[in-house]
Amino acid sequence: MILEIVSPEATLLHSEVDLIAVPGINGDFQMLNNHAPIVSLLVEGTVRFKGENVKIEKQFADNFTNTNGEYALSIKSGTIEMKENKIIILAD
| pLDDT tens digit at each of 92 positions of the chain | 999 999 999 999 999 999 999 999 999 999 999 999 999 999 999 999 999 999 999 999 999 999 999 999 999 999 999 999 999 999 99
Cα–Cα distance between 28 and 85 in angstroms, integer? 19
Domains identified in the chain, total number: 1
| DSSP 8-class letter at 55 | -
CA distance readout (Å), 75 to 42, 53, 87? 9, 23, 16
Domain region containing 50: 2-91
Residue 82, SS3?
strand
CATH code at position 80: 2.60.15.10
Cβ atoms of 70 and 54 closer than 8 Å: no
